[in-house]
Amino acid sequence: MQSSKTGYGQVSDQPRPPKKNKRIALLSASAVILVVIVIAVVVGVSHNHHSKGSSDGPSMSVKAIQAICQPTDYKEACESSLTAVAGSNTTDPKDLVKLSFKVALDRIRDAANHSSVLQKLKQDPWTVQALENCRELMDYAIDDLKGSIEKLGGFDLTKLDRLMEDLSVWLSASITYQETCLDGFENTTGDAEESMRKAMKTGMELSSNTLAIVRGLSDILGDLKIPFLNRRRLLSDEEEEEEEEEGDGEFPSWVSMGRRRLLVAPTTKPDVVVAKDGSGRFKTINEALGVIPKNGNRTFVVYIKAGVYKEYVEIKRSMTNVMFVGDGPTKTKITGNKNFIDGTPTFKTATVAVVGDGFIAKNIGFENSAGPSKHQAVALRVQSDMSVFHNCQIDGYQDTLYAHTNRQFYRDCLVSGTIDFIFGNSPVIFQNCRIVARKPLENQQNTITAQGRKDKREPTALILHNCTIVADKDYYPSRKRLPTYLGRPWKEYSRTFVMQSQIDDLVRPEGWQPWFGDFALNTCFYAEFDNRGPGAGVTGG
């Protein structure tokens, strides 16, 4: 970062048993009923807002499009783009929602192609890197939209709330990737930034519109109060008992029982062992990545024995359900020192980048050792949906942990740094974690968080629950002279919660700091609740 899902669904390691035929018939009938009801609601809303039954008024398709686009911020772009592809007979809200995803996807593809064209021109090194990152980020945005369209194809009404939640999380990620692309141009020269901003304008508007449509449709369905939508899904008695056990408050509900057992087990049987001393199959982590199955549904365990691994690791998008297990957060460490000052864009400074969904890390350390004078230097960047970090240590200075996108959970971890050292736009929870402020440069002051929520409908927030916020021993004598703040608003709708946590006296009484001027002060949302310790007072804010 440049400086001067929270409801959760559930995943399972094993497929559910087949439903009974009677239940399938009931669900199929319910699906038909719901589609009819939603069409009636959509067209009825449109009818009330427009020509009230005149035969010369808009067609049913136009009415449906106008109603679907009603909650959006960019209505003209929404209506014109859908009208161009929907045809005169499309009134099914499901089809219109899918079309809204597809038109956004097409515009993002256009922007990605534009970045390829720009890259062929003579550019300064920062611009070249920004364009390269844009192409990668656009691919992530496109993949998330594709996944959303595929998920819409099933439209299982017993899991409708989970569907809406998933779509909202993935759309938020797609929006964030596009915003990250533009962030990368902050230090470039020439007109590449303005050119990319223009090329991306429609795609970003349509992505925002699609998020608004999904949230709006969810509100409509909630208002209808249809009985079988009041629960996440129809369950047998056995499934109800399992779900009650899973919802025990220890983990988000999307962490399945199988994954929880892996997290709490004293030992885990590995699929592959990495050891610097040669006692494992591989001596480096990157060698081990080569044997990970692509798009695996089963958790693939990589045991990394004690040692300091000086390498840059990327868990690619195709590496799903991977688990890293170390010998302890200070015994097994992955370290690097890429940084902004030496010429690497923030997005690419990460020692470890986790993209593949369902990632788990346990008993392992991640470090960027560049130091405070090198400014932005990420130790860990995470985009993995439904990822979990347990008993891990994440050390750096500025921008230590980039909780970039998608649902993440950190439990019993330690995170250290100086400026904005927990940042990003994920629905992310830190529970029972130790947050350690380190000594910044003499002309700096610490900010623990910088949350990057760009759109007011994004289901994202940074949540610190039952954490401990303390000063590093080297920083402790300077904590009054070089102050620490809980956070500052990186984007317009920045949202952060600090709850039931121990806050030591390093945090200033004001608690929070502006980004610059009055930027986002009227739109950000920061909350402190039931905290304790000498830095927990809120009277100074």
Q: How far apart are CA 351 and CA 28, in angstroms?
A: 48
Q: How far apart are CA 340 and CA 402, in angstroms?
A: 14
Cβ-contact 197, 147 below 8 angstroms = no
Catalytic residue among 166, 271, 385, 420: 420
Cβ-contact 532, 498 below 8 angstroms = no
**Strands ordered across the beta sheet of 322-325:** 272-274, 300-304, 322-325, 360-362, 387-390, 408-411, 427-431, 461-465, 495-499, 525-529
Q: Write the CB contacts of 511 (distance below 8 Å, at least 6 apart in sequence).
A: 485, 486, 526, 528, 538, 540, 541
Query: Which pairing describes strands 393-395 and 307-310: parallel, antiparallel, or unpaired?
Result: unpaired
Q: How many CB atoms lie under 10 A from the CB of residue 88?
A: 10
Q: How far apart are CA 292 and CA 294, in angstroms?
A: 6
Q: How far apart are CA 264 and CA 205, in angstroms?
A: 43
Q: How far apart are CA 54 and CA 52, in angstroms?
A: 6
First to last CA, the chain: 26
To which H or E segment does residue 322 belong? Answer: strand 322-325
420 a catalytic residue: yes
The angle subtended at Cα 465 by Cα 459 and Cα 466, nearest 5°, is 175
Catalytic sites, residue numbers: 420
